[in-house]
Amino acid sequence: MLTMLEIPESKTIGIQAEDTLSGKTITNVFTATKPHKLTAYHGEPAQYKNFLTGRQITSARGHGMFVDLCCDAETNITIGDGTNLRYYAAGEPCPEKHQLLIEFHDGSFIAFTVAMYGGIWAYKGVFDNKYHRGSLESISPLEDAFDESYFDNIFRNTSKNISLKALLATEQRIPGLGNGVLQDILFNAGLHPKRKKSTLNDFHEAELFHSLKATLKKMTDRGGRDTEKDLFGNNGGYKTILSKNTLNKPCPNCGGPLVKESYFGGAVYFCPNCQPL
Ligand SMILES: [Zn+2]
């Protein structure tokens, strides 16, 4: 299954990892059961065992489309969008396939799996990756500082003819706001994903801002979306309005049929009635 690490999931997994993994010392590291071309590493994954053994996890944090496991000696492990991180208690069976597995002193372990593409980076100090840096330096929509004027600034700094999907979910203008969370944000704002920015008035823009804040907060408060898995392999508690899970259900607003279309590098879901173009 494709793992989508967006704001609600990175935040949830970051909190779970901080609570569950802090204080654990790495005693062993196992490389991929099967090589996977589209998994990115920092240097040679064969070196991870030497690099990580003996390190203790001190904290964890989720931001944008990343989760960072921070260890002592300035050592960090970062996963990005597409990588699933799962915790197993001592004695639980190992997954058949993984791209990396880290065992701790108490017999518990974490497994990293990648379905299509993903990254598992272990490094010292600051991660030299522009998206990671951009994510750390930007203000999350979950923070109060992400206010109407902050959003308006992002909104203004895009071309007139840009669609709402492209504005919100590409170029990492809002790190971790991807094609997944986008669907319910636009549904709640009553706006079509293909709609051009130039057709929005101030009222629409305000609706979009409020929906973006409220929808992401709700998704995060409920432990991520029901289409995604948390650190323990459970689905998130947020019930998606528009996703592959709901496509065959009627629109919760008007009862009409929902539509799925391929648009701008991924599927968009919408209600043509409640989100007119
Ligand atoms: Zn509808």
CA of 187 to the centre of ligand 1 (A): 9
Closest by CA to 276, choosing from 191, 206, 202, 163, is 191
Provide CB contacts within 8 A for 24, sequence distance 6+: 56, 57, 104, 105, 106, 108
Q: How far apart, in whole angstroms, are the C-alpha atoms of residue 271 and residue 277?
A: 10
In this prediction, residue 34 has a pLDDT band, given cuts at 50, 70 and 90, of confident
Overall pTM > 0.85: yes
Q: What proportions of the chain, in percent to the nearest 5, are helix, strand and coil?
A: 30, 25, 45
Residue 129 scores a pLDDT above 60: yes
Report the chain's mean pLDDT, rounded to a whole number.
96
CA of 197 to the centre of ligand 1 (A): 21
* C-beta separation of 27 from 104 below 8 A: yes
In this prediction, residue 36 has a pLDDT band, given cuts at 50, 70 and 90, of confident
* C-beta separation of 100 from 111 below 8 A: yes
Q: What b-and-e string marks burial along 217-228, b requiring 16 or more CB atoms within 10 Å of the CB? A: eebbeebbbbbb
Considering only the C-alpha atoms of the chain, give the largest distance between any 2 of them, rounded to a whole number of Å. Answer: 58
CA of 41 to the centre of ligand 1 (A): 43
Residue 35 scores a pLDDT above 90: no
* C-beta separation of 64 from 172 below 8 A: yes
CA of 247 to the centre of ligand 1 (A): 12
Give pLDDT, residue 85.
97
CA of 164 to the centre of ligand 1 (A): 18
pLDDT tens sequence across 42-76: 999 999 999 999 999 999 999 999 999 999 999 99
Tell me which amino acid residue 95 is: P
Reduced to 3 states, what is the DSSP secondary structure of residue 165?
helix
Exposed / middle / buried, residue 137 (Cβ in 10 Å: 0-12, 13-18, 19+): exposed
Closest by CA to 187, choosing from 246, 275, 258, is 275
pLDDT tens sequence across 201-257: 999 999 999 999 999 999 999 999 999 999 999 999 999 999 999 999 999 999 999
Q: What b-and-e string marks burial along 177-192, b requiring 16 or more CB atoms within 10 Å of the CB? A: bbbbbbbbbbbbbebb
Sheet containing 100-104: give its strands across.
26-31, 100-104, 109-114, 83-88
CA of 222 to the centre of ligand 1 (A): 24
Residue 1 scores a pLDDT above 60: no
Q: How far apart, in whole angstroms, are the C-alpha atoms of residue 59 and residue 80?
A: 17
Q: How far apart, in whole angstroms, are the C-alpha atoms of residue 254 and residue 67?
A: 38
Exposed / middle / buried, residue 235 (Cβ in 10 Å: 0-12, 13-18, 19+): middle
CA of 186 to the centre of ligand 1 (A): 12
CA of 9 to the centre of ligand 1 (A): 27
